[in-house]
Structure 1
């Protein structure tokens, strides 16, 4: 089982390769000599990896619990904790209760690496979770060596979807190129004769994944990038991009860029005809409403139901979510990050349940095998979108529904049908 630690340069190179068309691995690449996706025999301690989990299943989080991302990530963990509480109330997974142990990494990859080792070695967690591409990168080698699953990592870097090199790692967020395929499909419908685009790009791994994904998705189309600027300083980026005269502005950014870029555009007086935000910019209350009219008409690709949107007021899954959220003391049930955490918790519960029913049972090897072949439609996913993982393709989220922000109504409005990117 070959694994390599990825430096920043290595990440950029892999992202470029992905943007140039690398896809899912084949059956032969993803399976070992025994034909299995993951084998406990490759572990330093095969017995421990195959040992049945009893009593409590511990999920260890390394997360930015301090700093500018603390509120968003805290809401994710809050939602997951509530979903686990519902499972525990129903008897757990075959009688095994679920617990979250969280440690602050202040969005520092080196601290995330230390947290991961401590969670594995001292706290004895059975599963890991983290937020950020740099954090996944920092933790991946250690958790793969220890054969502790990192499930639904909050990142979108393509190399960690490679089951050969990182068999014990899965990511939740769609790879930037996958999301950007849906974005480009929307742009092609709106601009059949082509259009010029200004691209604002965050320089982190996640931001570059979006930027390179967009560049790959427009190949063979008459959509062109006329100017690109880094998001190190949103005001400087907007000054540069505005001068391009582009009709379309695409934000290849991370959560902290969403509002900052919108406000910079508003201050500049620039009114792009189309302003596309990344899917991580999904919370209307915190990332759009404060910008006022500057955010009006901004477009985003969505896969989760918004419990605060009138579109879902009669949706049974939303009603059950809100009832359970209130029952288990969720602080901000309408926050999209809370819903995100609930959905991830739901995916974990499904994987744990399927592992318990498998021949490997509820063990670390059983859990990662279940997660790598998981097909499930979480109730809080938009109808028509599901989670799908296979040996051939670690896709995850199968599609997106476009939405547009209405500043006057302070809500997202549906902007089209679900765009399926699964290839099915």
Structure 2
């Protein structure tokens, strides 16, 4: 199993192979249970622990960068999750079972994440795991899948981890890099019907490489030509080199910390590409775009979450309720996009836990994973028309987006079209 996991993570060909949605029929006589989409505890290191009923407290263990450049974004995500769990606990929890978040710092280091997960599973006895980063998912996959502890809504987008046969106890929250970049490329094809030269700025982590690979795959056979590619190890050096390419389009294949840094770098070298595409993980206007001033004006991004700071949603009932509940439960930055992100992840978890508790077997790690594999849910803080969808055999996740551009003068994102739903392409 461990060898299969590592191969799956390393081979980009293990992308989404999407077929029609099915339903989880429960037990199966299929000898290859994971391949058929049926989750079992047969291969677990401790099958009894995977099927044991969860009582009193359900623990969600996070390994995440609570120190270093990502700490602020991570802190807001955890803050949003804890606020949503507080609301659930105030309402009685999950059939009386209270929810708790346990966080360990990995400084965005995959090996530290692996050590953290060992402690979370063995010492803290967590029932569910979560993490930031594709490298982290890869590092913890062996231990987490062998122990059969669900890793739900990982902050990662590499398509390989959607391979249910090799990652049966894992789901990703962020849209597949292949899916997101396919939508980006379709937009660029409309914007540049005669083609365009593209420059790629690539973070050298698995997350950044996944976005870059997704763009390259989607651009094959189009008139979009990648004329330069540079690592984001030094944003200013990357900006200077990419500027020399004369590309009309700059695509940031980066992580959260790259978004503002790259924008400031291209401003320092005097480059204003016609089009700048930021990844969907660069969602917060106040921290990642506003500080760049005019340099960020017109940058494009795909989004799926409602923005409480945007006038577009000022009369939205779900947003109003979210603001009331987060503020009442100790959230310091309720309008921060990463706080919304954490709230939405927790909301997805609560939906899974509730359905698992209502199952014949009651609330257990196994029933939680079964619920995760059959989820079809639109969290209230998702933009209308966008939902999170899974099937027993395919990890769909998010298959719809709304395009936005950053308005530097108004310091806000402005809609650049209607929701783009590509789910029909995967039926």
What TM-score, normalized to structure 1?
Answer: 0.95
Structure 1 gaps of 5+ residues are none
- Indicate the RMSD between aligned Cα atoms, in angstroms: 1.9
3-state SS of 1:285 partner:
helix
After superposition, residues 213-362 of structure 1 pair within 5 angstroms as 213-362=214-363
Q: CA offset at residue 174 of structure 1?
A: 1.2
1:7-156, aligned counterparts within 5 Å?
Answer: 11=9, 13-15=10-12, 17-18=13-14, 23-24=17-18, 32-33=30-31, 37-156=38-157
Offset of residue 138 of structure 1: 1.0
1:2 positional shift: 6.7
* 1:55-107 Cα shifts (integer Å, max 9, x gaps): 01000111111111111001000000000001011110111110001111111
Going from structure 1 to structure 2, the CA distance change for 1:279 and 1:370 (only over 3 Å counts) comes to same
Shift of 1:227: 1.3
> CA shift at 1:359, angstroms?
2.1
2:4 paired with 1:4: yes
Aligned 8 A contact 2:373 2:392 in 1: yes
| Counterpart Cα distance in 1 of 2:264 and 2:139 | 33
1:25, CA displacement in angstroms?
A: 7.7
Q: In structure 2, the residue corresponding to 1:41 is in which secondary structure?
A: coil
- Alignment partners' CA distance in 2, 1:206 and 1:362: 33
Q: Which runs of 5+ in 2 are unaligned?
A: none
TM-score (norm: length of structure 2): 0.94
Looking at structure 1, the residues matched to 394 and 405 of structure 2 have their Cα atoms a distance apart, in angstroms, of 30
Distance of 1:334 and 1:27 partners within structure 2: 35
* Cα distance in 2, alignment partners of residues 353 and 299 from structure 1: 37
> 3-state SS of the aligned residue for 1:37?
coil
Instruction: Give the match's secondary structure for 2:156.
Output: coil
How big is the shift at 1:160?
A: 1.2
Q: 1:26 to 1:40 in 2, by over 3 A?
A: farther
Contact 2:21 2:391 survives alignment (8 Å): no
- Deviations, residues 326-357 of structure 1 (Å, cap 9, x unaligned): 10010100000000000000000000011111
Tell me how far 1:398 sits from its aligned partner.
1.9
State the Cα distance separating 1:5 from its structure 2 match. 4.6
- Deviation of the 1:201 alpha carbon: 1.1
Q: Does the 8 Å CA contact 1:188/1:194 hold for their aligned counterparts?
A: yes
Aligned equivalents of 1:415 and 1:70: distance in 2? 31
Q: Secondary structure at the match of 1:229?
A: strand
**Which residue of structure 2 lines up, in the alignment, with residue 170 of structure 1?**
171
2-side partners of 1:204 and 1:113: how far apart? 16
- Contact 2:179–2:399 at 8 Å: present in 1 too? no
- Spell out, residue by residue over 1:82-133, the C-alpha distance to the aligned partner (whole angstroms, 9 max, x if none): 0000101111011111000111111111111111010111111100111111
Deviation at 1:26, TM superposition (A): 9.1
| Secondary structure of residue in 2 paired with 1:58 | strand
Shift of 1:48: 1.4
Q: Distance in 2 between matches of 1:48 and 1:24?
A: 32
Change (3 A) 1:27 1:399: closer
Is the CA contact (8 Å cut-off) linking 1:4 and 1:141 kept in structure 2?
Answer: no
- Number of matched residues? 417
> How far apart, in 1, do the equivalents of 2:123 and 2:271 lie?
53
CA contact (8 A) 1:110 1:138 kept: yes
Distance 1:25 1:158 in 2: 15
